[in-house]
Chain A
Amino acid sequence: MNDNACHVWYDEGIAAGGKWRDEIAETILASSAFIVFLSPRCTVSEECLNEIGFALDQQIPILAALLEQFGLSPGMQLSLQNRQALERCRYADDAYHAKVRARVTQIIVKGHVGTRRFETGRTQAPADAGFDPRYILHSQVADGASGVVYRAVDQIKSRIVTIKREKMKTVDEVSLAMEF
């Protein structure tokens, strides 16, 4: 997923303590899509139901991936009715991964990710890339006083855009901010 323009977060490695619930909630709020991997244990977990309910309340697009064939609990059925679902056991690994990528892209586009980005603030690039992987830089178009401009592809919107990257400033340059 990370290699395909999706910045994936899951709740592994959250430090123990009273803040973990806040961290999960904040991450769900900032997400473009929510994937729930359903197993028999998950369907009776109060925490899982809470997280799904929170994502639904916040209108985060949801994809349900069933890890095996089993009967959903009534509560889970109620929560996920009419949501997109993908049955893991029906596909080989590669086909399954491709399906997940395609579905996630689809629900992100339908979920108006662009608007959410503007409303929720700046897009934080993942640590392993210097840049939001949604955009693939192609060629440099211009090099101006304030930044360098590139031609790029927006993979989610499937369109060509230009990206202007700020020229890195030193502390001294920042202090030159103009006073009016």
Chain B
Amino acid sequence: MHHPNVVTALDFGLEDSGREYLVLDLQENSVPLAQACADQPVSVHLDSLSQGLRALHCLHGKGVVHRAIEPSNVVVADGRLKMLDLAFSYSKLSASHALRRQNSLYDAAEVMRGVAASQVFDLYSLGLVAYHAFTGVFPFSLESVAEREFEIPRPQDDVDPRRTGMMARLLAFDLNPRFKTALDAFAAIADVSSEIVLETALTRESALQTAQFQPGGW
């Protein structure tokens, strides 16, 4: 995995006790998304959200579901969002090794009811983390995870209409209105902000570095 918005694994190993370890690049000067977005204009918020969607686009494109998107795993360092902690991620290749995790306040209701995690689940969690970071408000009246199973999130009408429709779709209680892919959600941002583009020089370079050689692919 190599993407400017996903933490990079540099090495891994096994201690003599059998404990595994992972060496990651250091996120120097990183702050939580909420701190990075405080008192910032909506354009910065949209840019941050678009970076998170780029990360999910990359992960999902490789068949990986993050499964644990919450504030501690979404940080910003020098203006660049980084998605951390793939410890609970799931992919078809490693399904049997996926770790069980406790539900968090940032999980979609259907996951709390036992539905398997999917791309849509990640999008919901990212939307909830972003909404909370941008507004400082949690769109639920209930604080308990157990009680959240059937509560419909009620994001307030945003001060900026550019975010309202997008947030409503990211945080929809039912699956149907939600964005189905990170690319869908990204397109919605690009519609309201012409400065945001899916492919940047960094993402292009990352794609090249992780591309697999295919004999005869030309």
Asked whether A117 lies within 8 Å of B27 as measured between CB atoms, the reply is: no
Name A123's contact: one of B12, B17, B28, B100 (CB within 8 Å): B12
Asked whether A123 lies within 8 Å of B10 as measured between CB atoms, the reply is: no
Assuming A122-B13, A124-B14, A130-B15, is B98 touching A135 (CB within 8 A)? no
Cα(A78)–Cα(B80), bound, Å: 53
Cα(A28)–Cα(B17), bound, Å: 24
Range for the number of chain B residues in contact with chain A: 20 to 34
Assuming A123-B11, A132-B13, is B100 touching A154 (CB within 8 A)? no
Which of A53-61, A80-88, A97-105, A143-151 lies at the binding interface?
A143-151
Residues of A within 8 A of B99 (CB): 146, 177-178
Asked whether B85 lies within 8 Å of A163 as measured between CB atoms, the reply is: no
Asked whether B98 lies within 8 Å of A164 as measured between CB atoms, the reply is: no
Name B19's contact: one of A129, A151, A165 (CB within 8 Å): A165
Asked whether A177 lies within 8 Å of B21 as measured between CB atoms, the reply is: no
B197 within 8 A of A: no
Asked whether B16 lies within 8 Å of A130 as measured between CB atoms, the reply is: yes
Asked whether B16 lies within 8 Å of A126 as measured between CB atoms, the reply is: yes
Q: Which of B65-116 touch A at CB < 8 Å?
A: 72, 85, 87-88, 90, 95-102, 116
Residues of B within 8 A of A124 (CB): 13-14, 16
A131 within 8 A of B: yes
Asked whether A176 lies within 8 Å of B100 as measured between CB atoms, the reply is: yes
Cα(A154)–Cα(B87), bound, Å: 22
Interface string of A165-180 (1 = CB under 8 A from B): 1101000000011111
Asked whether A166 lies within 8 Å of B26 as measured between CB atoms, the reply is: no
A127 within 8 A of B: yes
Interface string of A50-87 (1 = CB under 8 A from B): 00000000000000000000000000000000000000
Asked whether B98 lies within 8 Å of A163 as measured between CB atoms, the reply is: no
B25 within 8 A of A: yes
Residues of B within 8 A of A176 (CB): 100
Interface string of B161-187 (1 = CB under 8 A from A): 000000000000000000000000000
Distance (whole angstroms) from the CB of B11 to the closest CB of chain A: 6
A89 within 8 A of B: no
Asked whether B22 lies within 8 Å of A164 as measured between CB atoms, the reply is: yes
Cα(A163)–Cα(B25), bound, Å: 9
Nearest neighbor of A122 in chain B, beta-carbon distance: B14
Residues of B within 8 A of A178 (CB): 90, 95, 98-100
Cα(A161)–Cα(B101), bound, Å: 26
Distance (whole angstroms) from the CB of B167 to the closest CB of chain A: 27
Assuming A154-B23, A163-B22, is B16 touching A125 (CB within 8 A)? yes
Asked whether A114 lies within 8 Å of B10 as measured between CB atoms, the reply is: yes
Nearest neighbor of A164 in chain B, beta-carbon distance: B22
Binding site for B on A (CB under 8 A): 114, 117-118, 122-127, 129-132, 135, 142, 144-147, 151-152, 154, 159-166, 168, 176-180
Could you list 10 further interchain pairs (A-B, Cβ under 8 angstroms) beyond the known A166-B21, A177-B98? A122-B14, A123-B11, A125-B15, A142-B72, A151-B26, A152-B23, A154-B10, A159-B26, A162-B27, A163-B22
